[in-house]
Each structure stands twice: as C-alpha cells, then as structure tokens.
Amino acid sequence: MSFTPSDRRIEIADLTEINTTQVLLRFDAAKHTTTLFPINTMPGSEYFLMPKYDPIESIEIIEDENFFQDFSDFRTLEDVQGYLAKGMPKGFVKDPNYGLGLERKLSFIVNAITEVDGITNLRITDKRELDVAVTDDGTTYELGYTLFHELRRNANRFETKAQGSVRRKKQQAAYTNLLTRLDREKFPVKIFDRAPDDIAEVIGNTITDAKLSENDRAAVVNMAAASVRTSMKSQRVGLAKLHDEIELASLDELIARVEERFVERTSELQWQKLLEANPFILDMAFNVPVLLVQGQAHVGGKVLNGSGEKIADFLFTNKLTDSIALLEIKTPGTELIGKREYRGGVYTASAELVGAVAQVLDQIDKLRSDIYRHKAQNAPISLESYGIKGMILAGMIPEGPRKRAFELYRSSLAGVTIITFDELLLKLKSLRDLLGGKADIAPSKKPNPAREFEDLF
C-alpha cells in the first residue's frame, strides 16, 4: 500500500516537481508479518513525507496464523482499511492520512529505541514476553507484545492521571482567583487536593538528587516533616532509615567542613563556633558524655557569663557526675614541639603548648578556688569540683622524632589532656564508618595533614 498526498497537501508543501508517492504498508501473509513505513503527512512540516522516527524506517508486526486466514486475500482498498481497523493492535495509528505508526502518546517508545546505534527497524513479536533484543545484524530491535502492551497501558494511566491533576489545578486556580479574591471569608483558600498515589507517581521508585531544584528540596523536606507523625505506624522502618540518612549526611558534611578549615587557616574563634554548633564532637574528645554549660566562660568572675579575668573557651560538665571540665581551643597550625633539638634527639614542647597548658592549669585553679560562689550564683547548673579536668585542642600530630617527644610530654601531664585536630577528625571518621560504612568525603590534597600544615606556615 502506498500513500499519495492530495493535491492540496502537495501545494502546501511545494513539492510539485518530485515524486510524492511513498510506500506506507506492506503485508506478507507467508511470513505473518505486516510492515509499516510510518511517514510524516503534515504538509506544513519540513519533514513532510520523511520517516516519522528517523533513523527507524519501519515497524514490523508479527501476527498469528488465524489472523492471516481472515485477511489472506486483499482485493480492494476497503479490504486494507478493514485490516487496519480490525487487525492493527491497540496503540497504533490506523488512518493512512496520518502516516500510520504508533499513537503520539507512545512516541516515547521509538524515541528511546533510536538511542541504540544502527537500529532502522522495530519488530513487535509474540516470541518474547517482557523481553527485548537486538538481531544479530544489529538493525532490528525486537520488542515483545507483553511488554509493548504494558508500556501502552502505563502510558494511558499516566496520561489519565496527568489530565486529572491538570483539571484539579485549573479548578483551584479558578476558585482562588475568581472566588477567594471576591470574598475570602465565604470562599477561604483551599489546599490543593492531591489524588491518592499522586506523589508516588511523580517521584517513582527512585529519585535523582542532582536535578532537584532548591524548591524541590524544600518541598521534599516540608512534606517529610508534615507527615512524620501520621506515617509513624505504617512507615516506621522507612522513617528510621531516613533518620539514619540525615545523621550520616550531617556527619559527612561536618567532616568535610573540618577538612576545609584545615586548609583555610581558620581562626580560633571560627573553630569555637564550629564546636559550639556541634557539641557532640566534644563527647568524643572527652571520651565521656558532656554538657556544654558556657562558651567563653568567665571562670574567675562572679557568674559564668559575667565579668572575670580568667576566660575559658568552653566550660562543660560530665552528664553523669556533674564534674567540671574546661576546654581551651587553639588552631591546627599551633606548633606543639619545637623544631630545634634540645640535646641529642631530644625535643621540647613548644612555647605555645607550654603556655596553653599553664593557662588551663591557672583556669582550673581559679575555678576551684571560687567554686562555691559559682555554685551559689548559678544554682540551676549542677557544678562539682571534685575532679576538674582541663583539655587543650591544638595542632596536628608531629612527624618523626618530634612525634615521640609530643607523646612523652602530653602523657606526663596530670589533670590536662591534649588532643590534636587530626586526632579529632579521625574520631569523626571512625564514627562515620561505624554508623554507615566509609564516608563519602573527598580526599585531602595531601595524605598527611601535619605535613600539609608545615607547608602552609
């Protein structure tokens, strides 16, 4: 069967000087095959009379033998039209004036198949169920009837839902703009009424975060927050998993922020703000659960947040014993051990570290001597002085013989613990690994943070 456009179409397309007759349909009873050659029949298109689905030129439909017994002797145009009306599967265009092929809403099928290099023919066959294949010569894509009809039914279902959603949105727009604007009391604003499974249909089984806009992310977060309590009974496992993912993501972000500050030469105040916003980090530093009582605590004054001459960066209490702990924060670039030998392979603590230790010891002494005043004037806070501890967060683990000197020095101290920034980071990463596998954190530019800081200073 061939297609010859009307004179009017030829005139519109301005193709009077070329052969406009195109093969549209071929019927082979011996092979039980109907081959369509879908073409563009719209004269106003620049692709007029060209294949609809270039580079796919043809679509083969494999029918059973009983069907071909009914249509084994085509004699007239009416016979062919009868075949198209009765014999073509659902989902196909049956009017030659529209170039045959798939219905417009199923064009996504051929659009996907065109991504396979070398395919020029689509074959729909009952030989495969819920399966696809490419022939040995690489030119024919085979698609089973079962899968084809499943895709068709899903497309119909998606389209029906989409039309329903559009209709409801139009109704809401009319209500809001024509009635609520007129009388807000009589016609109050209505929340958009979504159909059941509407959100599930939009999102699908998986979601790719990379293409979410900020509005998308805000909507997802707000929706989750709004439905937590109502979803607790039916979606407890999913909500627990969501909680775990949030914690892991927060920990990943914190690790990344700490690593970024390593190379940005962050000030003491910036480190204090980071730790104040994430006080659980100090639980790992102290190796016990602690409660942040006061940042920039005036340990020598009348009250913790009043005036005083001795100020600690942080004041904590042990959550279980109420014993007090003081924390002094320096920077990762703080030198811990002097670079020059004292004698034959012996190194001494740097002036900065010795000064920090003396500072913490002095703060402990001032706090202990004035503890009763603090307890009386800060009654809501449980403060006990029977085991005041001091901690210094500073520097990075030195290299070589200076590492040994640092370990010897800090292990000799009583009442003051020194922890380095890279040790604290390692504890964070260990926690991340324990909670959910390896952290997805970009590696540092150099493998040794201590060496990196020596290069910076």
Average pLDDT, the chain: 75
Tokens of 128: 């495969």
Q: How far is CA 88 from the centre of its chain?
A: 44
β 311-318/2-3 pair status? unpaired
Confidence at residue 454, expressed as pLDDT on a 0 to 100 scale? 33
Under 8 Å CB-to-CB from 137, ≥6 apart: which residues? none
Coil, helix or strand for 93? coil
Tokens of 132: 């696809």
Confidence at residue 450, expressed as pLDDT on a 0 to 100 scale? 37
* Rounded CA separation 320/127 (Å): 72
What's the whole-model pTM score?
Answer: 0.46
| Low-confidence residues in the chain, pLDDT < 70 | 1-7, 9-21, 64-77, 79, 87, 127-130, 192-212, 223, 239, 242-244, 247, 282, 284-313, 372, 374-381, 437-457
Helices (H) and strands (E) in the chain, counts: 15, 13
Q: Cα dist. 424→85, 183, 420 in Å? A: 75, 61, 6
* Rounded CA separation 34/24 (Å): 11
Please state at what angle helix 236-263 crosses helix 214-231, rounded to 10 degrees: 140
